[in-house]
Amino acid sequence: MSTKHGGVSFDVAEASIDALRRGIRSRELLVSGLIDTCLERVERWDRAGPKLAAVLALNPRARQLAARCDHAVADGSGGPLCGIPVAVKDNCDTAAMPTTGGCLGLRDSRPARDSAVVRRLKDAGAIILAKTNLHELALAGLTESSLGGQTLNPYDLTRTPGGSSGGSGVAVTMGFAAAAIGTDTVNSIRSPSSANSIVGLRPTRGLISRAGIIPVSETQDAVGPLARTVFDIALLLDALAGYDPEDPATARCIGQIPDTYTASLQRPGLSGRRFGIIRGLQGTSAENREVNAAVEQAIAAMRGAGAEVLSVDEPFFDAEELIENLDVQKWEFRHLFDAYLKRLPAPPVRDLAALIASGAHLPGSLAFFKEAVGVNEPDRDPEYLRRLVAIDRLRGRVFSLMAKHRLDALAYPLQRCLVVPIGSASQAQRNGILASLIGFPALTLPMGFSRPTPTAPIGIPMGLDLMARPFHEPLLLSIGHAFEQVTHARRAPALAREV
């Protein structure tokens, strides 16, 4: 489905933000037509057809905002993202639409103001087109919620789209929006990026403000962009990165942000770079074969472009053990969630205990809720304190490993097996916990597809995660852009081409 103006056709499903910006500025593309096309796509595939269930709410002022953007462009004004439609995960506060976390108990929750990321996008001229479904309160990776139901993977309608930001991933790959915002506490930006053949960035802790987002963990939470190209991620990062006194962690980014992240894409990408492939984050059974084959193809592409790639391994590279022994969500969630509710003008529930009592939540969330509500004074809990010390030790070990081998980045499959079928108990064998614990930036890139099947006509997408040192996003983007150019791995879902 495309939109036309002045005889020029734009394929909204695949057009980059940069291409859309050029079309809008040249007046070859009207923002009004672009927004209409995105809304038509939502109606065609999300509300009807297969009912992907990626979108929870549409901005009622979207067309009005589009008309305003068209006037701004005609006047020679408008920000760097003027008219670009962006979908936002529904745990990011928006004053114009409810912010629910996908939870029935919060279905009427209306924050007083926009979250920091939404404000920055709007200041840059973007149109917040939709709020997307997520795994309820961003607490797991299947993208199922009591409010929005189960989001489907457009590459295979029998599978999940990754999560928890699965609605955002589907919105980008299906062309419901040009880009999206997700959050990532363990895997949640990168998992749907891997499963939907798009690019996702979990930024360095402190690069993008988390203010105004339904929280899970002070230690592990991050917010970041999902898009179809690395260049688009760089454009979004220009708008999103920066200090915000409402999120003290962002004080770390002062002096670390370039004039524009897009400049990094002009630098040498793969030639002369050194990568460490973490073999311990690959599986060894039959269900891992297709992912492992894609990793080997990615390695070959890197080497073919002049990179050095070596295998690195340490006992601490074990995702399951890291989740079991270092994850701190249980200790941090209740205090943060209760504080978030107190800041709402009219909170629909008083606190986590009241949400549990209401029963207006996904049944699968109850076990975690009960664990979290039972945590009192976490700062005096020996196990919580032990985990924080161990996280700091892990961070030091990763720094040392990268220094010892002179590595620019570490690489591993974001998920060791294909994204799981609907009805699975969890999103199995994901590796994102490493970056989430230590606060390093990680960029997920499309690296290929599994073999086609009757339910997956072009196969299931698989993603490669690249992790660099803190505030080395320019390096990651440079590498990612070069990898993208030599692999051309992204393919739109066959579903998105149906008329």
What is the spatial distance between Cα 155 and Cα 168, in angstroms, rounded to a whole number? 15
Q: Which of 32, 109, 165, 188 is catalytic?
A: 188
361: its two tokens: 């939540």
Active site annotation includes 370? no
Q: Can 404 be counted among the known catalytic residues?
A: no
Report how far residue 348's alpha carbon sits from residue 14's, in angstroms, rounded to the nearest whole number: 39
In the set 89, 122, 131, 330, the catalytic residue is 89
Q: Is 188 a catalytic residue?
A: yes
- What do you get for the CA distance between the two ends of the chain, in Å? 7
Which letter does DSSP use for residue 195 in this model?
A: H
**Spatial distance between the Cα atoms of 101 and 302, rounded to a whole number of angstroms:** 39
Are 408 and 388 in contact by the 8 Å Cβ rule? The answer is: no
164, two tokens: 């928890």
Q: Which residues contact 198 (CB under 8 A, 6 or more apart)?
A: 169, 172, 173, 192, 226, 227, 228, 446, 490
Neighbours of 112 (CB within 10 A): 11
The DSSP element (H or E) to which 3 belongs, if any, is strand 2-5
Cα separations (Å) of 179 from 87, 147, 378, 455? 6, 23, 37, 26
Residues β-bridged to residue 309: 275
93: nearest Cα among 61, 128, 53, 142: 128
How far is residue 358's CA from residue 336's CA, in Å, rounded to a whole number?
A: 19
- Phi first, then psi, for residue 441 (nearest 5°) are -75, 145
Question: Distance between CA 58 and CA 204 in Å, rounded?
Answer: 30
Query: In the structure encoding, which two tokens stand for residue 88, read together?
Result: 């936002």
Q: Enter the DSSP assignment of 44.
A: I
Annotated catalytic residue within 146, 164, 194, 264 = 164
DSSP state of 43: I
d(CA 278, CA 314): 8
Using the structure block, give the residue that is written with the tokens 């709402």: 344
For 421, residues 6+ apart whose C-beta sits below 8 A from its C-beta are 158, 159, 160
- Burial of residue 296, with CB atoms counted within 10 A of its CB: 0-12 exposed, 13-18 middle, 19 or more buried: exposed
- What is the C-alpha to C-alpha distance for residues 206 and 436, in angstroms, rounded to an integer? 12
Q: Which residues have a catalytic role annotated?
A: 89, 164, 188
